[in-house]
Chains A and B, each alone.
Chain A
Amino acid sequence: MSDTNQRIAYGKTLVELGKENKRIVVLDADLGGSTMGKLFEQAYPERHFECGIAEANMTSMAAGLAQAGMIPFTNSFAVFAGGRAYDQIRQTIAIGELNVKICGSSAGLSDFGDGATHQSVEDLAVMRAIPNMTVLSPADARETAAAVKAMVEWQGPCYIRLNRNDLNNVTPEGKPFQIGKPYVVREGNEIAVLATGVMVEKALEAAYTLKDKISVRVVNVSTIKPLHTAAVKEVIAGCKGVVTAEEHSVIGGLGSAVSECLRLERIPIDFVGIRDRFGSSGHCYQDVLEYYGLTSEHIVETVLELYKEI
């Protein structure tokens, strides 16, 4: 599982970077065994802080650690890391642009068994709306490792959204993570599917399914913010329609971000995402994704519908 799991890639990369960079510290709220903060704890116990089941305190502690010159990473499930500690992130980290990194682990619907309380359908929207915040959403384990390196080099608050389950690696090997730069993972020239997280792989499947009918370009948008109009226009250049795909509410996430960028363009856009609903428990991840319409088939249907319009 280790090469295909974002959480493990995250934990291992922190250990690797923490060897040289003594400023890196990691905070967990009794979920280190899941967030993989435990790997850092095992390697550098003096630089890992177990904060107990108290995410608000953990988050403000990270602000204090940053003020003392450290590079703190706070870990918890996305609903807690970004949701429960929202006010702490806003006030003690974002307003002052402190160098704190927040990991929203088991994000989206990926904690399939635990249901709505543990499934973050709105974390991208909430984090994206906070001024000074950078928001990352890598597609696979490989890209997660690269993203963590970029986060350490990036000065300022940064949120990263990670999936709980094993995902196939779909991004190029050895590609450095460039914050703010979406990139093409499959060429095509009629419809551009802009996807993030687990949906990148689904988009690639959809493009393959449609290959004899429509030329679909697939773009990995692994930085949700900052996302600039020029960067989006560059990756959709030549296409006549845009479909976004995200394991997140259609309100406020990738679809919204792309629409904001393209608001002055005459190009039709449609969304694949969660329709303003909370999550639900399911027996397996795939069941839950299907229930919420987050499959390659849904992307295919959405692309076909949009194609009729252009």
Chain B
Amino acid sequence: MYSDQLLNELREKARILRRDVIVSIGVGVAGHIGGSNSAADLVAALYFYKMHHDPKTPKLEDRDRFLLSKGHVAILQYAALAESGYFPVEDLKHTKEIGFYLQGHPDVQKTPGIEAGTGSLGQGLSIGLGMALGMRLKGIDRRVYVLLGDGELAEGQVWEAAMAASAYHADRLVAIVDQNGLQANGWIEERYNSYPIREKWESFGWRVLETDGHDMEQILTVLDDASRPEGKPTVILAKTIKGKGVSFAENVVGFHNGMLTEELYRKALAELS
């Protein structure tokens, strides 16, 4: 259904985003490699295939919105925005410099293309819901995508929003759960279990779609499925690997917010080139 050319282009975009993530973290400063790389394929599919947006007009009314509820992987969204043309790719390596427009967490005021202030977890879905309802009032028929972590699902506000979205039949709202199985301190199922997930979303009245979060063809299929409104909000459960693409960081707890030595930095870039 999708051409090999398209799929390969998107895989290539995802590789570039992962490389950009490493470049923006650099050497000797902690950065969220794990959760960025687990979501890179999903984010590449959204920015370079699915979403209607215009980097030259970030505030274009008639646009799809992407909100990063797991705000700690801001560097991934910055990479997607930069590669889309919102701002220069060269600026990524200045991320987190004092006063710079690329802060450690998304800031709606400072950065073009950022739709929501996030970082304190659990709030993005509520913001996305408000946005979807505002767009409905204005007659803008576009989608709001909200990326959450699976560890984040422990936050009670996620379920307040889930309940409300269902009550409001917010069928232009699409939640995507980056199910990498790890939270900051370890495996979710060992530390504090937010699973099972599917049943929770279903019982809250959501349509649930599942995908391998690293299989581009599957990702495009569920994103396109999610675009067919059924009178209720949709959640995509995406099974992923934390740190994907950087061998020494994959499934390693320490690379939730890890620091790279010069040697590891070079190794990561080599693996992503």
Contact = CB atoms under 8 A, between A and B. Distances in A.
Contacts of A51: 164
Assign chain B's interface to a size class. Answer: 20 to 34
Interface in B110-134: 115-120, 123-124, 126-134
Which among A51, A68, A87 has the greatest number of chain B C-beta atoms within 10 A?
Answer: A68
A96 B131 contact: no
Nearest to A70: B134
A265 B173 CA distance: 55
B120 A60 contact: no
Contacts of B156: 56
B133 A54 contact: no
Contact of B164 (A61, A65, A68, A97): A61
B51 to A, nearest CB: 16
* Interface SS of chain B: helix
B228 interface: no
Given A57-B157, A61-B127, A64-B129, A52 B134 contact: no
Contacts, number: 114
Interface string A209-235: 000000000000000000000000000
A46 interface: yes
B167 interface: yes
Contact of A63 (B61, B127, B132, B138): B127
Given A56-B126, A65-B134, A96 B160 contact: no
Nearest to B110: A96
Assign chain A's interface to a size class. Answer: 20 to 34
29 contacts: A25-B134, A47-B137, A52-B163, A54-B164, A56-B123, A56-B160, A57-B129, A59-B126, A60-B126, A60-B157, A61-B126, A62-B130, A64-B128, A64-B134, A64-B144, A65-B133, A66-B130, A66-B134, A67-B115, A67-B130, A68-B130, A69-B138, A70-B137, A72-B130, A88-B123, A91-B117, A91-B119, A92-B123, A95-B107
Given A25-B134, A52-B163, 5 more contacts: A57-B129, A60-B127, A61-B133, A64-B144, A68-B135
Interface of A: 25, 46-47, 49, 51-52, 54, 56-70, 72, 87-88, 90-92, 95-98
